[in-house]
Structure formats: C-alpha cells, structure tokens
C-alpha cells in the first residue's frame, strides 16, 4: 500500500514546517500543491519555502514554471501524478502539501474528462464576452444547459460572475453540442494510493494575526521591489493574485502604499476564510490545532496506516 500524507489548511498556519517534519520522519519527499508557488518569478509574495527549508527535504513543484507559461490545474494533475508515481517506486510515502483546494482535489480524486474544444470556438466565445459582457455568458449557459445553470444559481451563484468558468461552460456546450453537465461525474478516477489527510487550524483571530505578521515580513524581505519588477506584466494570469494586485494598484496611483498594504492583509484574510470553507467540506480530514505536538500527528498517521 502507498500512502499520500496530505496537509491542508489556511495560509500562514504552518503547513510547510509540518510537511518538512513529516517528510523527514517518513524519509520521503514533498510534492507542493500551491498554485502560487509554481512560478519562479514570484518568491516573496507567494511565501515560497526558504532555501534553508528547501534544504531540509526534497521538494517538487516549487518555482518550476514561468509566469509566461500557460499552466492549468489539468497540466498539474498529469505532471504531479507522474511524479508521485515515480516517488512511490522508492518509498511507500509521499507528502502532499498546499493551500490550493482545487489542485489538492485534482490529485486526490481527479476531474471529469471533457473533449478537446476547437480553438476557434473558444476564441469566438471570448470575443463575444469582451463585446457583450458577462450577461452574454449567463444567457448562453441558461439556454444551452438550463439544468446546470439552475444548479449554479442555487448552490454557487458567485460562479455566474466568474468569466473564466462561464466561458469554459459555454465553449464546451457549443463545441460538443451537448450540455456541460452531461460530462460531469462520468467515471471515477482510480488512484493507486491511500490519502491520509491532515488539516491544520487555529482560532480565527490567531490565523488573522499570523497573516498580518507574514505580510509585514514579506514587505521587510522586499515584496515592494519584487512587485515593481513584475509590474509591466501585471495583466498575466499568474499575477492576478493577492499581494501583487494591490501593489500594482499602488503603482497605478489608485492606492496609497499604506492602503495597499492593508488591502493585502484584508484580502489574504478573506482568502484564508475561503480556504477553510473549502477544506472543511472534505471528508476524512483529521483536524489538528496548529500547535499540536508532532508526535500526536505522527501517531494518528501511523494508526491510519495500521488500520488500512
């Protein structure tokens, strides 16, 4: 049996430190599952593990891509599963760690498979969106897949305002002639490992204080200069992220520096709340306070291994 020891939780909770401790205990390697840490041009603002931390255990998928690369969660799923399979050849354990819920899910259970869509259809949908706005996408989805439209409206209405997601739904409908929902839940993705999922948590005030401290540390480390160097590429998808967007607004003259910093802290706190909401929905996750003794967490993991 192979075991994927998976560590989840909100930003700044201590996932990196725990992952290193567990990798050393089980003499294994770490697969990072943080979509912000893939990019080599972004170091300070994404809280990439320090050189000292990276030296303590072998990490994969840290700063392995460029902000100029097109890199999707589907690309990551394929690459990471191949790497995990390779690592299992020499060890029964791999540590998976990160705060990107969608990317964690991609590894643990995979996604529904969709046919390849003609690029011209994608281009046309994108053009219509630019000319007609989000309402065009909403109307198209309601017409082409009324069942899925109603499901989103009742269960996840904010998705209706997400142009990337909405364009994807519409292009699949137009490109296949079938409702987007007809491709969902077609088959189970088999995984040849058992996930043991560890969640780290703390009182909300503690999480928020840790986030505020981390932002201050990032600024002292040179976040402003890092964002300035990336400013000319601010339209790239990889840079549409907390910690950079706010400073770009400062460079644009829309924010004062002090306001931009407060916005980074506020938006990171909001992000951590969304992370917890996502991970708390996940079944079979054992939650520990972030100060829990490592031996207690290791005992729990060993118990899961023994019972499997």
Residues 6+ apart with CB under 8 A from 196: 3, 4, 5, 6, 301, 304, 305
CA count, 13 A, side-chain hemisphere, 61:
25
Do 162 and 223 fall within a single domain?
A: no
Binding residues for substrate: 11-16
Rounded to two decimals, the pTM is: 0.80
Do 203 and 57 fall within a single domain?
A: yes
Do 220 and 301 fall within a single domain?
A: yes
**Ordered per-residue pLDDT tens for the chain, 308 residues:** 999 999 999 999 999 999 999 999 999 999 999 999 999 999 999 999 999 999 999 999 999 999 999 888 888 999 999 999 999 999 999 999 999 998 999 999 887 777 778 888 888 999 999 999 999 999 999 999 999 999 999 988 888 998 889 999 999 999 889 899 988 876 657 899 999 999 999 999 999 999 999 999 999 999 999 999 999 999 998 998 999 999 999 999 999 999 999 999 999 999 999 999 989 988 899 999 999 999 999 999 999 999 98
Residue 179, domain CATH: 1.10.20
Do 36 and 144 fall within a single domain?
A: no
Of 159, 183, 207, which residue sits at a domain end?
A: 183
Do 170 and 139 fall within a single domain?
A: yes
Which three-class secondary structure state does DSSP give residue 282?
A: coil
Residue 52, domain CATH: 3.40.50.300
Of 165, 183, 201, which residue sits at a domain end?
A: 183
Binding residues: 9-16
Closest CA to 8 of 108, 110, 100, 87: 100
Do 293 and 213 fall within a single domain?
A: yes
Which three-class secondary structure state does DSSP give residue 194?
A: strand
Binding residues for ATP: 9-16
Element (H, E) at 93: strand 93-97
Of 157, 183, 209, which residue sits at a domain end?
A: 183
Range of the domain at 176: 119-183
Do 144 and 282 fall within a single domain?
A: no
Do 207 and 282 fall within a single domain?
A: yes
Do 177 and 194 fall within a single domain?
A: no
What is the domain count for the chain? Answer: 2
Q: How far is CA 65 from CA 10, 29, 33, 72, 88, in A?
A: 23, 19, 13, 11, 24
Do 107 and 135 fall within a single domain?
A: no
């Amino acid at each position: 049996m192979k075991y994927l020891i998976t560590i989840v939780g909100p930003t700044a909770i201590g996932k990196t430190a725990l992952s290193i401790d567990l990798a050393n205990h089980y003499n294994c390697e770490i697969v990072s599952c943080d979509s912000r840490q893939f990019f080599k041009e972004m170091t300070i603002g994404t809280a990439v593990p320090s050189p000292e931390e990276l030296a303590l255990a072998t990490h994969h998928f840290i700063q392995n891509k460029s902000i100029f690369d097109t890199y999707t969660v589907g690309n990551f799923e394929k690459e990471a599963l191949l790497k995990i399979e390779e690592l299992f050849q020499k060890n029964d354990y791999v540590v998976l760690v990160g705060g990107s819920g969608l990317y964690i899910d991609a590894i643990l259970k995979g996604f529904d498979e969709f046919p390849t869509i003609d690029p011209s259809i994608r281009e046309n949908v994108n053009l219509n969106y630019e000319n007609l706005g989000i309402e065009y996408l909403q109307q198209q989805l309601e017409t082409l897949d009324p069942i899925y439209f109603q499901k989103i409206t009742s269960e996840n209405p904010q998705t209706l305002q997400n142009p990337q997601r909405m364009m994807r739904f519409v292009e699949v409908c137009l490109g296949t002639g079938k409702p987007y929902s007809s491709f969902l839940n077609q088959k189970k993705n088999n995984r040849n490992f058992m996930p043991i999922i560890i969640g780290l948590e703390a009182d909300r005030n503690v999480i928020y204080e840790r986030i505020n401290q981390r932002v201050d540390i990032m600024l002292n480390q040179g976040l402003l200069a890092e964002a300035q160097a990336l400013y000319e590429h601010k339209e790239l998808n990889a840079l549409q992220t907390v910690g950079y967007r706010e400073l770009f607004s400062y460079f644009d003259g829309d924010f004062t520096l002090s306001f931009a910093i407060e916005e980074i802290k506020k938006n990171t706190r909001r992000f951590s709340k969304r992370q917890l909401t996502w991970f708390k929905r996940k079944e079979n996750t054992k939650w520990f306070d972030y100060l829990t003794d490592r031996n207690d967490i290791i005992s729990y993991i060993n118990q899961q291994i023994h019972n499997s």
